[in-house]
Amino acid sequence: MKAIQIHQYGGSETLTYEDIPRPEPAPEQVLVRIHAAGINPIDWKIRQGWLKEVFPYPFPLVLGTDMSGVVEKVGAEVTTLQPGQAVYGLVDMTLSGAYAEYGLGYATTIAPKPQTLSHLEAAAVPVVAQTAWQALFEVGNLQASQSVLIHAAAGGVGSFAVQFAKAKGLTVIGTASAQNLEFVRSLGADTVIDYHTSDLSAARGVDMVLDPIGGDTQARSWELLKPGGILVSTAAPPDPTLAEKHQVRGTMIMVQPRSQLLSDIAALIDAGKVKPKVSQVFPLAAARQAQELSQQGHTRGKIVLQVV
């Protein structure tokens, strides 16, 4: 099968388009014929070797987790998915990643694909939508009538967070650059802030800040929270002394993919409540250009690789 592999850590030149053997599922695994794979920043962070202490993957490594495709084969112990079923979710890079014609994963992180989405659109959903959901409702515990400031609201995590928050009846303030303000408004944000030209005072008094950026963005956010509020970061662990100083909480989350959550999100998508935004599509062989674009940090919605 065709796959994008790395044989060592490094720049985008380490991504190579190769022919490799098709993997076979063990009894508890699922083999998916991948139609589309989503690009996530963690893919190029892994490629750069930034996470090698946390995730010591073996080489050669097929990158990518987000995918949409059709179940090709299931192991003898898999009872929830059948060959021929259209699915989306995460394959497992330690087995065989998503930038390939076939990927291997576990049924616990794969679910039936949203019926109203193409494979290209469905591949844009799994990691970012589950991250946004878990940040807002499982960690932030937000309820209707509360308010949230969503940084990087035009990005993968942010664009889902805005839509989920609005669907739950929250007041949403989003930050973006000038060229993305209208896009963030179209997702439902009540207020949009150009983070290059405006201060963040319009967000003062929010119940939660969702921070997919870290650094200065996180540092400027503490004073915007109401006492007892929470800052949830997907990018950098918050400083507990700053949280204490502002009488708020701060935490960093790691997404916990679950097939049930993927099914719940698929139901929201099929009910027309949320929709992914695919801004660029590249063929599998052009994964290098796709990652370079992601690495610039200004993706609107998602970048997706077309495999079939």
Give the 3-state secondary structure percentages of the chain, helix then strand then coil, rounded to 5: 30, 30, 40
As a whole number of Å, the CA-based R_g of the chain is: 19
* Position 144, amino acid: A
Kindly report the CA angle at 32 between 258 and 84, in degrees rounded to 5?
100
**Single residue of 99, 102, 106, 195 touching ligand NAP by CB under 6 A:** 195
Site mask, ligand NAP, residues 258-277, x = CB under 6 A?
A: --------------------
C-alpha–C-alpha distance, residues 99 and 101, integer Å: 7
Give the whole-angstrom CA distance, residue 85 versus residue 111. 9
Binding-site member from 261, 300, 304, 307 for ligand NAP (CB under 6 A): 300
CB of 145 to ligand NAP, least distance (A): 25
Candidate list 3, 4, 37, 42; residue touching ligand NAP; CB under 6 A:
42
**Residue 305 engages ligand NAP in binding (rule: CB under 6 A):** no
Stretch of residues binding ligand NAP (CB under 6 A), selected from 84-92, 151-159, 199-207, 282-290: 151-159
- The pair of structure tokens assigned to 136 is 């807002």
Structure tokens at 182: 């209208």
What's the min distance (Å) between Cβ of 31 and ligand NAP?
25
Closest distance to ligand NAP from the beta carbon of 129 (Å) = 10
Q: Does 306 bind ligand NAP (CB under 6 A)?
A: no
Q: Interface with ligand NAP includes 175 (CB under 6 A)?
A: yes
Site for ligand NAP in 200-219 (CB under 6 A): 212-213, 217
Q: Is 124 in the site for ligand NAP (CB under 6 A)?
A: no
Q: Which residues contact residue 194 at a Cβ distance below 8 angstroms, ignoring those fewer than 6 apart?
A: 175, 176, 177, 178, 181
- 286 DSSP assignment: G
Distance CA 97, CA 57 (A): 11
Residues 6+ apart with CB under 8 A from 26: 75
**Which H or E run includes 104?**
strand 102-106
Q: Does 235 bind ligand NAP (CB under 6 A)?
A: yes
Residue 229 or 276 having the CB closest to ligand NAP: 276
Member of 90, 110, 127, 305 binding ligand NAP (CB under 6 A): 127
Binding interface with ligand NAP (CB under 6 A): 40-42, 127-128, 131, 151-152, 154-158, 175-177, 180, 195, 212-213, 217, 234-235, 253-255, 294, 297-300
